[in-house]
């Protein structure tokens, strides 16, 4: 149950401190505690939330949607159905994007093959 600073969170996930502050300002990291000097203190729960934000970002969810999801998390168990539906829909979107990339990769492989043979 250690608290960590923004510098440590930044190092842990390898993202700039400025990005973490930006996410907090956008409402993706609510309820972050502060020490007497006003510095952010990330609890394990906050770190887990940041990890979720990064997971959703890695799968290209827009910040506005991540905020909606986080708002639902904060709101509590009454929003579980909404969150479940959102995650299911998001999963389908991610699978579709992976399919598109995988399909497009074939076109790139064709070029690689052609250029390799033309060398």
Partner DNA sequence: ATACGACTTAAACCATGGTTTAAGTCAACA
Partner DNA sequence: TGTTGACTTAAACCATGGTTTAAGTCGTAT
CB distance 24 to 41 below 8 Å: no
Interaction of residue 100 with DNA, rule CB under 7 A? no
Write the binding mask 22 to 61 for DNA: x where contact by CB under 7 A, - elsewhere.
Answer: xx-x--------x-xxxxx----------------x----
Interaction of residue 12 with DNA, rule CB under 7 A? no
CA torsion sign for 32, 5, 2, 12 is: positive
**Strand ranges (E), 5-115:** 33-34, 40-41
Considering only 52, 63, 67, 71, the residue that binds a second copy (CB under 8 A) is 52
Interior/surface letters 31-53, b for 16+ CB within 10 angstroms, e for the rest: eeeeeeeeebebeeebbebbeeb
Q: Within positions 61 to 90, which residues make up the interface with DNA, using CB under 7 A?
A: 62-64
Closer CB to DNA, 17 or 82, in the complex: 17
Closest CA to 31 of 68, 83, 73, 2: 73
Residue 1 Cβ vs DNA, minimum distance, rounded to whole Å: 18
Closer CB to a second copy, 45 or 80, in the complex: 80
Which of a second copy, DNA, none interacts with 31 (beta carbon under 5 to 8 A by kind)? Answer: none
């Amino acid at each position: 149950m250690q608290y960590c600073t923004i510098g440590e969170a930044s190092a842990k996930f390898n993202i700039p401190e400025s990005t973490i502050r930006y996410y907090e300002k956008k409402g993706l990291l609510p309820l972050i505690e502060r020490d007497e000097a006003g510095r952010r203190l990330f609890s394990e729960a906050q770190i887990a939330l940041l990890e979720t934000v990064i997971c959703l970002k890695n799968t290209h969810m827009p910040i506005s949607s991540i905020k909606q999801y986080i708002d639902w998390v904060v709101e509590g168990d009454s929003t579980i159905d909404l969150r479940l539906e959102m995650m299911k829909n998001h999963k389908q979107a991610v699978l579709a994007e992976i399919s598109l990339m995988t399909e497009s990769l074939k076109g790139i492989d064709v070029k690689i093959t052609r250029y390799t043979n033309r060398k």
